[in-house]
């Protein structure tokens, strides 16, 4: 008996070792693929800031797709509790307890069309039956299993609904997902469209059992209890809509032959995550992701500002009293060089000039922001670069505040949805005079960063 136990134990250890080794090999494969992508962007993978990027990206992707290794039954087993009063033939589907709703579950998933994260606000309803109710936290955990896979909104809703219906066998399950997909402009269009909207949003539903009929009265109960959360049911995306493409990165154009190595690298990443790159929905994903990355290619562009600076500086010298001018809420989009994940927000620029004259105007300052944003970046460096470039135009007395939402804060297991990061750079008299700093900071409006 002891020998059998020892052999069984050794088998488990060996199996765990093999699983760990397999995961390590897959992580290394993703790291190698990320190096190919960085080199294709013209970056030096050995420069400070990028040396650990391949590992960070691999860990983020594996964490963000861990749902492939999880099973619903492992969560639901032991999560059903007997509840007296759920008598057959009484109330909805045999339960006098009626409808149970869990609202506002914050999830994130990776878009299967472009490999960028998208945010999800999930609302789950179910009707107990068979004298059983489910532990409420398990609803969130089941939803997270399917969110942590490459997804699109409707399939995500359907998979959560089906898993709960089969796992807890209720009278019915209803799902509503509010999904937000980041939508950056291209480098070229950013300079042309100042009113670009940063997100594509979609609201989808799924139902089973007593919720299978979308016109059933119980759907009315469910939706009424969600109106408190500001959900506009008129915006529900029709299941049979011909417009099924919600990902803004989907395109019919292809990357050039020179970038075939990069698309092959993305295909390798998909395989390493446990997906089949030949699955119909994933055929265009490598191309879409590479085209996205090329918005941030290291193209060694230079801003030609010298002539502008000389002309303006001479004019400023003859003007008297100093005062603070500002340009607020200049939009920016960028890509984090640590995780290859997007971040976005607004930039506020304050500067000291004379006589109340605005020496350059919003258009050029917005161009400066875009110029430094469309690179692999970190927010602290972006803030400093904007300040230094603006300072060369404005006489040296400049203060810059950048407010940003980082998608790396909702992925990688961090999941701090709604967090915001502010960074500050001060030059000239702003660095020595607290009154100047305070006056500019007081001019910044509340809630300036666009909502996700």
Answer yes or no: is pLDDT of 20 > 70: no
Q: Would strands 150-151 and 132-134 be described as parallel, antiparallel, or unpaired? A: unpaired
* pLDDT value of position 236: 80
Lowest mean pLDDT, pick from 32-36, 92-96, 210-214, 409-413: 92-96
Q: What is the secondary structure of 368-414 as a DSSP string?
A: HHHHHHSSEE-HHHHHHHHHHHHHHHHTS-EEEEEEEEEGGGTSTTT
CATH fold match for the domains 25-295 and 305-310+317-443: yes
User: What is the Cα–Cα distance from 148 to 279, expressed in whole angstroms?
Assistant: 18
Query: C-alpha angle 411/338/195, rounded to 5°?
Result: 70
* pTM assigned to the model: 0.82
Task: Work out the mean pLDDT of the chain and round it to a whole number.
Answer: 82
Answer yes or no: is pLDDT of 168 > 50: yes
Cβ atoms of 397 and 352 closer than 8 Å: yes
CB atoms within 10 A of CB 327: 20
* pLDDT value of position 449: 44
CB atoms within 10 A of CB 277: 16
What sections of 170-305 are H helices per DSSP?
187-190, 217-226, 260-272, 285-293
* pLDDT value of position 409: 79
Residue spans of the domains in the chain: they are: 25-295, 305-310+317-443
Answer yes or no: is pLDDT of 3 > 60: no
CB atoms within 10 A of CB 212: 15
Lowest mean pLDDT, pick from 19-33, 101-115, 139-153, 322-336: 19-33
Cβ atoms of 158 and 206 closer than 8 Å: yes
CATH-assigned architecture of domain 305-310+317-443: 2-Layer Sandwich (3.30)
Q: Would strands 150-151 and 80-82 be described as parallel, antiparallel, or unpaired? A: unpaired
Supply 415's token pair: 């999941």
* pLDDT value of position 378: 96
Candidate CATH numbers 3.40.50.300, 3.90.550.10, 3.30.1130.10, 3.40.50.1370; the one for domain 25-295: 3.30.1130.10
Dihedral of alpha carbons 441, 447, 450, 452, sign = positive
């Amino acid at each position: 008996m002891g020998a059998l136990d020892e052999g069984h134990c050794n088998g488990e250890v060996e199996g765990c070792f093999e699983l760990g080794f397999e995961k390590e090999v897959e992580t290394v494969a993703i790291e190698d693929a990320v190096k190919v992508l960085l080199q294709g962007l013209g970056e030096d993978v050995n420069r400070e800031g990028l040396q650990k990027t391949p590992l960070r990206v691999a860990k983020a992707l594996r964490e963000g797709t861990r749902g492939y290794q999880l099973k619903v039954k492992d969560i639901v087993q032991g999560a059903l509790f007997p509840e007296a009063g759920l008598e057959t033939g009484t109330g909805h589907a045999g339960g006098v307890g009626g409808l149970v709703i869990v609202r506002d579950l914050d999830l994130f998933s990776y878009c299967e069309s472009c490999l960028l994260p998208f945010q999800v606000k999930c609302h789950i309803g179910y009707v107990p039956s068979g004298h059983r109710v489910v532990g409420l936290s398990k609803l969130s955990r089941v939803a997270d299993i399917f969110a942590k896979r490459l997804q699109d909104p409707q399939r995500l809703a359907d998979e959560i609904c089906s898993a709960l219906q089969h796992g807890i066998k209720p009278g019915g399950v209803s799902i509503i997902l509010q999904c937000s997909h980041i939508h950056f402009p291209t480098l070229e269009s950013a300079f042309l469209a100042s009113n670009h909207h940063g997100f594509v949003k979609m609201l989808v539903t799924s139902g089973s059992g007593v919720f299978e009929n979308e016109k059933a009265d119980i759907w009315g109960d469910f939706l009424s209890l969600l109106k408190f959360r500001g959900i506009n049911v008129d915006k529900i995306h029709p299941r049979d809509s011909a417009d099924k493409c919600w990902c803004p990165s989907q395109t019919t154009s292809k990357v050039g032959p020179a970038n075939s190595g990069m698309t092959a690298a993305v295909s390798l990443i998909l395989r390493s995550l446990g997906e089949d790159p030949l699955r119909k929905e994933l055929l265009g994903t490598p191309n879409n992701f590479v085209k996205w990355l090329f918005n941030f290619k290291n193209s060694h562009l230079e801003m030609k500002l010298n002539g502008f600076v000389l002309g303006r500086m001479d004019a400023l010298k003859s003007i008297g009293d100093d005062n603070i001018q500002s340009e607020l809420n200049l939009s920016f989009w960028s890509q984090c060089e640590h995780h290859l994940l997007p971040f976005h927000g607004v930039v506020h620029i304050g500067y000291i000039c004379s006589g109340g004259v605005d020496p350059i105007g919003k258009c050029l300052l917005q161009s400066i922001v875009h110029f430094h944003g469309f690179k692999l970046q970190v927010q602290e460096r972006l803030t400093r670069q904007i300040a230094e470039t603006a300072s060369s135009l404005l006489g040296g007395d400049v203060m810059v505040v950048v407010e940003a939402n980082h998608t790396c804060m909702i992925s990688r297991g961090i999941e701090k949805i709604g967090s915001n990061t502010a960074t500050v750079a001060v030059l000239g008299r702003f660095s020595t005079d607290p009154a100047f700093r305070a006056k500019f900071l007081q001019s910044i409006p509340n809630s300036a960063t666009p909502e996700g």
